[in-house]
Amino acid sequence: MNTPRGTLFIVAAPSGAGKSSLVNAVLAKEPGIALSISFTSRAPRPGERHAQHYHFVSKDEFKRMVADGDFFEHALVHGDYKGTARQSVEPQLASGKDVLLEIDWQGARQVREQVPDSVSVFILPPSRDALQTRMRNRGQDSEETIARRLAAAREEMSHYDEFDYVIVNEHFDAAAAELRAIFVAHRLRQPVQARRHAGLIRDLLA
């Protein structure tokens, strides 16, 4: 019997909306979902580790990978390239494992074109003031960078209606519970359960 293909989950948000913290909190309780580690051409921020937070490569190396067709999706974000390598996604989906992509709206659009049955979630901040405060509290970016990210956030947030689900990250625990509920509910949909438990259903109806 063929292994049911895994589900591809997409989570996107403007910078500073708390996407990474929410994803990490949910994955800690959902070990059945694998987080795909993106490639980026930007330098690591303080505390970031290669192959744990991102695969850090040079712009020339990134462009070579694009030319070789290595990316499932890629985009230029805030002046730096980001992308998801095919090798990080396809083998795991084929083996039946669910995979989560933590990417921007541009990448999400590319992925949905290739995987129409993917499940996408957009995270919104509770206000523009909260978004600005969160960016500053990280203490990782210059004022110039923060200003640039705030200017880009409105454009990013305007694409919320391209996603299946929208979560407002006002209270972290509530937002994390909502994100996890989306993952759990999708796994319990009839077509997914019918594939996963084909043998059981066949025996029950015999």
Q: Give the residue numbers of the binding site.
A: 13-20
What the block records as the tokens of 199 is 């043998």
- CA distances 189 to 31, 56, 92, 157, 182, Å, are 19, 37, 21, 29, 11
Could you give the maximum distance between any two Cα atoms of the chain, in Å? 67
Two tokens, residue 60:
């020339």
Q: Binding site for ATP, residues?
A: 13-20
User: What 8-state DSSP symbol labels residue 161?
Assistant: G
**φ and ψ at 7, to 5 degrees?**
-100, 140
What is the C-alpha to C-alpha distance for residues 161 and 187, in angstroms, rounded to an integer? Answer: 23
Residue 131, exposed/middle/buried by CB under 10 A (0-12, 13-18, 19+)? buried
Alpha helix (H) ranges present in the chain?
19-27, 59-67, 90-94, 105-114, 128-138, 143-157, 172-187, 190-196, 198-204
